[in-house]
Structure 1
């Protein structure tokens, strides 16, 4: 299982604590230092069944400073993948990838249903 996080993020810290409390083994990946590439993002997006917009960290400073709220709807899917792959801070986190399971953000009930 791959756990993508930004260590300073409080939600990521809560998610990591939850994983540890449930003795779930994972590989930790710093999303800023090891940014997901386009191929990974495409694969995870497909497996997740979620709209691509859910992969964007809409509350992040970078998202807001780039004015993506207004720009995103005008971008093609490929342009959105390129944008996400350009900076890990644009990607919603934490992100769990476990086989065909991809979870974006930390919702305890969703994680319990899918990981326990």
Structure 2
């Protein structure tokens, strides 16, 4: 089973979901805004990929953080920040069995999921 974690109005999540639909792949969508971020999943992503990959440092949510907070970011602070503001997490995060993908890259997804 494929689980897509994200925010429904995010353009990248929309592209990713369209791609999955076009491939005929069924998936479950986990909406951060409605269901929050599952802390145990976030911990696994941070452990496996590091906060620098999990946190979207290009987005508006990151830029809105005070400079002191951005400069002092580490894994523990990233966890707290992401739980409080799921928009900080790079989207989408996709889990399929042991496979985890962060962000949308059609070529990588084709290789991993299709």
TM-score by length of 1: 0.84
Runs of 4+ in structure 1 over 6 Å off = none
Give the drift of 1:101.
1.0
Q: Aligned-pair distance for 1:67?
A: 3.3
Cα distance in 1 for partners of 2:9, 2:108 equals 23
Q: Is the 8 A contact 1:3 1:26 kept in 2?
A: yes
Q: State how far apart, in whole Å, the 1-side matches of 2:6 and 2:74 are.
A: 26
- Structure 1 unmatched runs, 5+: none
What is the aligned length?
113
- 2:59 maps to which residue? 60
Residue matched to 2:103:
105
Matches of 2:7 and 2:79, distance apart in 1 = 19
Q: CA RMSD in A?
A: 1.8
Q: Unaligned regions of 5+ residues in structure 2, if any?
A: none
Select between 97-106 and 71-80 the one with higher mean Cα deviation.
71-80
CA deviations 1:67-99 (Å, max 9, x no partner) are: 36x634523422221111112111110110112
Residue 27 of structure 1 aligns to a residue whose secondary structure is strand
1:24-55 Cα deviation digits (max 9, x unpaired): 11101112222213321112333xx4232111
CA contact (8 A) 2:59 2:88 kept: yes
Cα distance, 1:29–1:37 mapped onto 2, change above 3 Å: closer
- Report the CA distance shift for 1:56/1:76 in structure 2 as closer, same or farther (over 3 A): closer
Distance in structure 2 (CA, Å) of the matches to 1:38 and 1:53 = 17
